[in-house]
Structure 1
Amino acid sequence: MSHPVIRRAWYVPMRARPAEESHRVSTPLELLFDLCFVVAVAQAAAGLDHGFIENHVGSAILAYLMTFFAIWWAWMNFTWFASAYDTDDVPYRLLVLVQIAGSLVIAAGVPRVFADNDFTVIVIGYVIMRLATVSQWLRAAAADPPRRRTATRYAVGVAAVQVFWVALLLVPSSWVLAGFAVGVLLELSVPIVAERPTPTTYHPHHIAERYGLFTVIVLGESVTAATLAFQSAMDRSGHSATIIGMAAAAVITMFCLWWVYFDHESVPEINAARAAFLWGYGHYLLFAAAAAVGAGLVVAVAYEEQETHGISYVVSAAATTVPVTIFLLVITALRAQPGRPRIIPVATSIAAAVVLADTFVPAPLYLTAGVLVALVAVLTAATRTRAGASPDAPPAADS
């Protein structure tokens, strides 16, 4: 029996998709985009752990925050646009291909930032991506009259800020940091200004899923980086109990961070503009922290193997405990919703404080893993008990 051939129109007018559309899920093209983008995340994390190992901590953190903003912002621009205007026709797919190519150029430029503070290649990658992004917004402006002003504002704003980034390459190096800060403010203001006439019809459930999937990918990249570090250490020094124990603590830590992120009772309330901006912008810190945890684990292995160059024990511990603390605090803020058990934010905040304190005591990786296990136990008891007490809870299945 032959299978029917699915025929798609090669061109579809780019009208807004309804925000209440049923069965709206991430597409294979969006997943491919994410997987290509994680290459840049891996490069940024590698630059961060290398900076710690070489005792260039301050410059490494600054370069990491700057490059990660570029990575996250490019990903976020694509994600929110696709939620409202993904037509999946041939022009759309080809323009996404251009954006993927731009993301790979950005990834290629990340090491230059850490080595020489050179943003040239990253800016070139942005130019490539934004040629496609502006084209997509112009398509939306032409085909979606109710939101024409919004789409036009996006197209003009994105193009104008990109001109600023290109111009920043021409200024003296002493101006770059201040210019970068100005560029960040301009970037963040474009959606705020553009959404005022008529908001885009992003799909709240789709956005929550897209952010969740990228969180999984970033955590997965951290696991990969840490695994390679542990494997390399065991190849050099044999299967030492210390390295194996650290590896087990690292796996538990990453799994617990995943659990904390996804242990919620409903999708986040991001229908209102303020909540949407908080969710969208707040994930910069969460994604950056998740990737930095992997870098911190690499630093912990290097310190144990005496391969670091002059960093103190506290600094080596902070490379892991600080990003874990930031992750917990940010997810607490993002998941703050009326009606949630008060014990959840309280427990998460206490866990964050204890993890930060682990920086100054022996065996911080083990203690951090233990704190996160306790937090997961508390969150599980709180959410499951509340679900069981709810009159709307489904009956337990018979054994």
Structure 2
Amino acid sequence: MPHEVRAVVATKKGAPLEVQPILVPDPGPGEVLVSVQACGVCHTDLHYREGAVGDEFPYLLGHEAAGVVEEVGPGVTDLLPGDYVVLAWRAPCGACRSCRRGHPWYCFDSRNAAQSMTLLGGTSRTKSEGGTPLTPALGIGAFAEKTLVAAGQAVKVDPAARPEAAGLIGCGVMAGYGAVVNTGGVRRGNTVAVIGCGGVGMAAIAGACLNGARKVIAVDIDDKKLDQAEKFGATHIINSRGTDPVEAVRALTGGVGVDIAVDAVGRPETYKQAFYMRDLAGTLVQVGVPDPEMKVEIPLSDLFSRGGALKSSWYGDCLPSRDFPDLIDQYLYGLLDLEGFVTERISLDEVESAFDTMRAGRVLRSVVVL
């Protein structure tokens, strides 16, 4: 029988969020039902609400979550009821051209639940059959007491991890950490600059430090965020509101620039700053999500003469089944301060106000606790 639960729904572009009863079906083949314990409020959820991701309203928001498997569908063999999991929005299919050539972190046909969760009134796929289907954010939809996902999206981790902290691995922390470690390939002795000290940028700073970077430079326009960056391991900070960050980074690196520059903002000006603050043959990693209308103009001669690599990081180029348990272990060993990302704990009814707090830059993460 379907499960009636409370959930946060974006009904139409720009409209205030609503907490509504929804129906979550029992898991079908290859699916699992997860009882959500905590879910972070991510900028991507706001992008969905504002119609910047698509127009498949209504959306069931929330995707940065941890919880417990409640039921498993036919054919699910590697998960059992009671397993503690972090939800991932990449579940490699194992069959696409990227998976076949050994790059499952770029999977082009990631798995999601086949069945729809719906607004109260039916469990069918079409309105005419009695239920309005919901589009789950990033294939998850975890601002809800329960959610339905593909089995591959539920990654089993150590149950000793607090859900408020563990869930953040599912998106922002993994994106930032993976950007510098998986995409940027940071090595012991490297120099790193990170532009933007929100949740993703802080995770990049932490990842660079944990993997041996000798100099980690945090760049932002907010002194409070820069103070936090030092707590996550930044060796130097630059407030770019009144300082040229490219010149400041060069001054801190003997005039040459850094080995790896991470743009965790995703704007043309920050991309160009990251491009020019690299050493020759250095690596630029863009992980900040840009507006679709944004464009960057860089002289082709500069692209040629500076060499190196310009990379976009998709979800930290992570393989959830490999990386999630590793990051959770680092947290439990006291190496990765996931608790430091949790600014406030809120209820489902407070997600709308959490968006306002996030816009104002007053939090790393608001986390819904169920």
TM-score bin (small chain)? under 0.3
Greater fraction of residues in helix: 1
- State the TM-score, normalizing by the size of structure 1: 0.24
Q: Which has the larger radius of gyration?
A: 1
